[in-house]
Structure formats: structure tokens, C-alpha cells
């Protein structure tokens, strides 16, 4: 997978999830208070995907046959820990009155995780 292809798919995915979040905020007034969280979540996962793509390309080209497997293992646990920290910090700073923020974040998490699995699978086949 080339960088150009990766960024085209990433842009398309980001546009789609942004549109879905926009619709969610328009259709459910309870979620409108979390528009900043939505933007921050999308940006967080954009950064994670981009970093993981370049790390994956390096790992595939590495002389170590375990480099790619190690990257996948570290990325799964690292992303989980980062996500828990992100939600904890948001909850402490924003003091949300309901739990909609978790659903919005999880929506982004699941979509970008599926994308990561897809592009990492393509990288592994290189």
C-alpha cells in the first residue's frame, strides 16, 4: 500500500465518520455538548493511524521477522491505554452530565480500529 493510497482511504474514512457524527449531533440534541470531544477523538485516531501506518511500513521492511508482530501487539495495548486515559482526562476536565461521550468516542474507536486492521493486513502481505 502506498502512502498516497493510505491517505486517500484515511481522508474518505475521516469524511464519512465526521459526517455521521455531524448527523448524530443534529438528530440527538443530547450529544451536541460533545462536539469538541468528537473533533478531538477523530484527530486522535487520525494521528494514531498515521503513526501506525509508517511504523508498520518500517516493521515490514525490518530484518527482524518479529518486528511486525511486536508492533501489532504494542499498538493494540497502547491504543487501549491511550483511549482509557483520553476518556478519563475528558471526564475529569469536562465533568459530563451523562454518558453520551463514551458512545461517541467508542464510535470513532471502532471505525478507526476496523480501518487499522484492514491496512495493517495489507501491509503484512507486502
Q: Where do runs of H (alpha helix) occur along the chain? A: 3-27, 35-61, 67-94, 100-124
How do residues 27-69 score in pLDDT, each as one tens digit?
A: 999 999 999 999 999 999 999 999 999 999 999 998 888 999 9
The pLDDT value given to residue 35: 93
81-97 pLDDT tens trace: 999 999 999 999 999 98
Residue 91 CB partners (closer than 8 Å, separation 6+): 101
| 38 φ, ψ (degrees, to nearest 5) | -60, -45
Please state whether the predicted TM-score (pTM) of the whole model is above 0.85.
Answer: yes
Convert 82-112 into a string of H (helix), E (strand) and C (coil). Answer: HHHHHHHHHHHHHCCCCCHHHHHHHHHHHHH
The three cell numbers of residue 80 are 487501549
Amino acid at each position: 500500500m502506498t502512502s498516497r493510497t493510505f491517505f486517500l482511504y484515511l481522508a474518505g474514512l475521516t469524511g464519512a465518520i465526521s459526517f455521521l457524527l455531524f448527523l448524530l449531533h443534529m438528530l440527538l440534541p443530547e450529544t451536541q455538548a460533545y462536539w469538541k470531544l468528537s473533533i478531538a477523538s477523530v484527530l486522535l485516531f487520525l494521528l494514531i493511524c498515521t503513526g501506525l501506518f509508517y511504523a508498520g511500513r518500517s516493521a515490514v521492511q525490518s530484518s527482524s521477522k518479529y518486528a511486525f508482530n511486536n508492533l501489532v501487539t504494542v499498538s493494540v495495548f497502547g491504543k487501549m491505554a491511550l483511549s482509557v486515559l483520553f476518556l478519563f482526562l475528558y471526564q475529569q476536565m469536562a465533568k459530563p452530565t451523562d454518558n453520551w461521550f463514551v458512545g461517541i468516542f467508542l464510535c470513532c474507536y471502532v471505525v478507526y480500529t476496523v480501518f487499522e486492521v484492514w491496512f495493517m493486513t495489507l501491509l503484512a502481505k507486502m
